[in-house]
Amino acid sequence: MISKSLLQSIIAKYHLGEIEQIKWEIENKKLNINFLAPSNMVLGSVKCNDFQMEDANLAIYNTKKLANLISICNGDLMLDLERQMEIITKLKIADLNFNLEYALSDPLLIKKVGTAKAVDGWYVELQLSSEEIGNILKAKSAMSEVEQFLVTTTKDLDKQDVCELIFGDEIGHNNKITYQLKGVINKEHMKIKYNSNMLKTILNANKDMDEGTFKISNAGLMYLHFTDGVIESEYYMVPTEDGIIS
């Protein structure tokens, strides 16, 4: 049995509103999903260390359809597989009222996803509390029309190193929200732009997690990691095309 909320949480963390074609790799009651956004903006993985299903590789071609099927269920779900010869053809989902069938794809139709290269160092290393995640989401919502945000490093009024997330025009007289985070800062006067809509989607999908990590690599790659002890998710997000300013 697997709870509906667990399945929905796993799917939300990799779907991100756009990632449809994926492989679920299940081995020894552990689930691993590697994903790459169609825009190549985000590469990542979701792992669950307590996934009560038999060993299998499931080719999911339409994640949104699967999520819609799961949404009508309630409580704990029974998951089973249907095979034709050695080929897994259907994922069966059942609760006390519904019996659902989701047609699985040919694994050859699902593109293989690589893994991120080893990072040689970090400009910024921060811990994200649930309160901080909520505050960043509030800032983005207040500036919903802004598609980019700027990550900078500077000093606060106490001359302490801080990382700032700036939503809006950094200069001039336009509307702007600046949110400060403290942590390990290894580069002064860093300025890098990222897609704010993707950040919002990732944070929304992980606001149920216990703790988070936010890092910027020496190459400008953003790394986000979240865990609650059962689910672990990580994301590598590239800057925008003109993103690395300094």
φ, ψ of residue 183 in degrees (nearest 5):
175, -150
Per-residue pLDDT of the chain (246 residues; tens, 9 = 90+): 899 999 999 999 999 999 999 999 999 999 999 999 999 999 999 999 999 999 999 999 999 999 999 999 999 999 999 998 888 999 999 999 999 999 999 988 898 898 888 888 999 999 999 999 999 999 999 999 989 999 999 998 888 999 999 998 766 667 899 999 999 999 999 999 999 999 999 999 999 888 899 999 999 999 999 999 899 999 999 999 876 776
**Which CATH number, 3.30.420.40, 3.40.1160.10, 3.10.150.10, 3.90.550.10, labels domain 2-109?**
3.10.150.10
User: Which residues neighbour 194 within 8 Å (Cβ) at sequence distance 6 or greater?
Assistant: 148, 149, 151, 222, 237, 239, 240, 243
Q: Does pTM top 0.85 for this prediction?
A: yes
Q: How many CB atoms lie within 10 A of CB 165?
A: 22
Residue intervals of the chain classified under CATH 3.10.150.10 are 2-109, 122-237
- Nearest Cα neighbor of 236 from 124, 115, 145, 140 is 115
How long, in residues, is the chain? Answer: 246
What is the pLDDT, as a whole number, of residue 118? Answer: 80
Contact 165, 179 (CB under 8 A): yes
DSSP three-state, residue 157: coil
**CATH domain 122-237 topology:** DNA Polymerase III; Chain A, domain 2 (3.10.150)
Helix (H) or strand (E) holding 18: none
